Amino acid sequence: MNPPRNKIIPLEVANVIIDKYDTTLNLLEESTEIYGKALDGKGSVDYKNGNKYEGEFTNGMLHGIGTFYWRNGVKYSGGFQHNKIFGEGRYDWPDGSWYEGDVQFGLRHGRGKYVTADDCIYEGEWKEGLKHGKGIITYKSGTVFEGDFERGLKHGYGKITYPSGNYYEGDWAFDKKEGHGIMCWVDAGEKYTGNWRDNKQEGWGEHVWLEEKGDGKFLRNRYEGEWKNGLRHGIGVFYYGNGSKYEGEWIENLKEGFAIFTYEDGKIFRGLYRNDKMVPNKETPRSGEFDLNNSHTGHLVTEDESILKKQATTLSVINENQPAIKRTGKRQATTTTEKAGEKKEISVITNEIQSNPYDTLLDIFDLFAEEDIDTTIHEIQEVKNLLLRYHSNMKLWYRNYAAKQQINSEESFALTSRMFWKMLRDAKVLSPKITIAAFNRLFMQGAKNNFSLHTTKLTLKKHLFIAKRDFIESLSESERENINIDIDSVSEEELFQIDNKTDVHDENKILFFRHFVDGLVRVAYLKYGGFPDFAKKIEEVLLKIQNAQEKRKKAKISN
């Protein structure tokens, strides 16, 4: 700080505001100075307005280390330069709050610590009396914010952690979550990553329910898509734990409008949803295995931790506890007849007639496009019957290799391609002629095997536009008259923009059980060819895997 132009304040001038003083006087006699006496050294001054100063003086000015007392009870102790509060010091206020750190011209400026009367603590950077720069606030409740400040407000990038362990990390604007950020509800096991506006999810984002792994669960329930005012609104994809997914339109957390629904077994429905419910059409599967009409309510995020503790979230899950295959066997029932006035219970044995789940789970017609259709149908039916016999074994193999994975994904519990390849190596199915690269290319040829865990707004927009257009064209004129469906405009540039291509050799690509079975069938096709007796060729592969598993089990027991 540069000294003032006049280097002294004579006592005669200071007396205008000073009531009394207790310090030495310096006699000023140099021709370049104003003649007279000035306060100098250590001492104290009582001002006529009731303020008081104790400390060092130089040439009549507060200069050095001292303490200034205001008549309203505020106290400052620290550095002074030429009558200005400047340097390092401490403010104490009558309500018990205090500040300690850098000061300039009486204002907090630089680095310092401020503690309020209710024990809220800020440590960090200041500018002209306001929090500005990097800092940490610890609230009395235990909530902690660490990040950027501008003109006293949270602004820039920062992380706020609540007493429950819940936290938000990301962009802020004028004390509000705004921009891109991550909110994690640790107590509820949920996480949102995406855009925010005015403390709510707004724009494109992903919400995942971090449930524990369960039987028949390949994924964590997850929504990826557009949000508005904290609700799913616009276009988005909901991924269900059992491998099903809804790709379509939403209005305020409800499925509403056109959608593509992929079932657990890979079947696809294209059509309309109204008020969160599917509107049946000719593509609606006849099977009643799936409950599609459960709803989801959104997670409304607020700044208040007490409210965050739960605007409770309920999940919409497609009956994922329903077994993929019903157990065959016998069911014993009893009936009552009368004879000679006596009731007699008779055990009646009834057989359940069960359908083969592989009738819908498997789609390998692409392998035999050039074959006679009747032969193809017969051969594929034999394959489905074989797979039914090995169903329990394949389920076990799938679980075992999925459990060996080292990847901890927030999204998936499913088997990855890498572990599927490992199983083939362990069983010595692969060979120089039967390579992983050749298998990967054949696998991706399957109609149900191109499943992605992520999308982008443009990709989804184009996907729905094409599907919606084709759906409308498939309707009769009378059907079109009875429904109201809009086709969102997609520019020609957007329509022909190339999406990121799927890496067919991605070792982390997820495989649901239906993909796993399809992969085994295609490996057999590569190794032994197709017709005739394709089922027997598949069984050769299955027996190799089964034998390898038994050997590993025996080796583990012996060790």
Query: What kind of fold does domain 1-92 have according to CATH?
Result: 2.20.110
Pairing state of beta strands 268-274 and 277-278?
antiparallel
- Predicted confidence at residue 369, as pLDDT, reads 86
Task: Find, among 81, 64, 60, the residue nearest to 13 by Cα.
Answer: 60
Q: Following DSSP, what letter does each residue of 242-306 receive, concatenated? A: TS-EEEEEEETTEEEEEEEEE-TTS-EEEEEEETTEE---TTS-S----------------S-HH
- Predicted confidence at residue 283, as pLDDT, reads 67
Residue 332 corresponds to which tokens in the numbers above? 């014993």
Q: What is the full per-residue pLDDT of the chain (559 aa) written as tens digits?
A: 565 544 555 554 555 566 566 655 554 444 444 445 667 788 888 888 889 999 999 888 899 999 999 999 999 999 999 989 999 999 999 999 999 999 999 999 999 999 999 999 999 999 999 999 999 999 999 999 999 999 999 999 999 999 999 999 999 999 999 999 999 999 999 999 999 999 999 999 999 999 887 777 889 999 999 999 999 999 999 999 999 999 999 999 999 999 999 998 888 999 999 999 998 887 666 543 333 333 333 332 333 333 333 333 333 333 333 333 333 333 333 333 333 333 333 333 333 345 788 988 889 999 998 888 988 999 999 999 999 999 999 999 999 999 887 666 778 889 999 999 999 999 999 888 889 999 999 999 998 888 888 899 998 998 898 888 888 888 888 777 766 666 667 776 766 666 666 788 888 898 999 999 999 999 999 999 998 999 999 999 999 999 999 998 888 887 7
Q: pTM, whole model, 2 decimals? A: 0.78
Q: Where in the chain is the domain with CATH 2.20.110?
A: 1-92
Contacts of residue 47, defined as CB under 8 A and 6 or more positions apart, other chains included, come to 17, 18, 19, 53
What is the DSSP secondary structure assignment for residue 412, as one 8-state letter?
A: B
* 3-state DSSP assignment of residue 95: coil
- Predicted confidence at residue 310, as pLDDT, reads 35
- CA–CA gap between residue 113 and residue 126 (Å, rounded): 10
User: Roughly what angle, to the nearest 10 degrees, separates helices 513-528 and 436-443?
Assistant: 120
The answer to whether 433 and 492 have CB atoms below 8 angstroms apart is no
- Predicted confidence at residue 526, as pLDDT, reads 94
Contacts of residue 155, defined as CB under 8 A and 6 or more positions apart, other chains included, come to 148, 149, 172, 173, 174, 175
- CA–CA gap between residue 151 and residue 131 (Å, rounded): 6
Which residue is associated with the tokens 């190794």?
527
- Predicted confidence at residue 481, as pLDDT, reads 73
- Other CB atoms within 10 A of residue 497 CB: 12
The pair phi, psi for residue 9, each rounded to 5°, is -125, 105
- Predicted confidence at residue 301, as pLDDT, reads 31
- CA–CA gap between residue 556 and residue 559 (Å, rounded): 5
- CA–CA gap between residue 251 and residue 179 (Å, rounded): 22
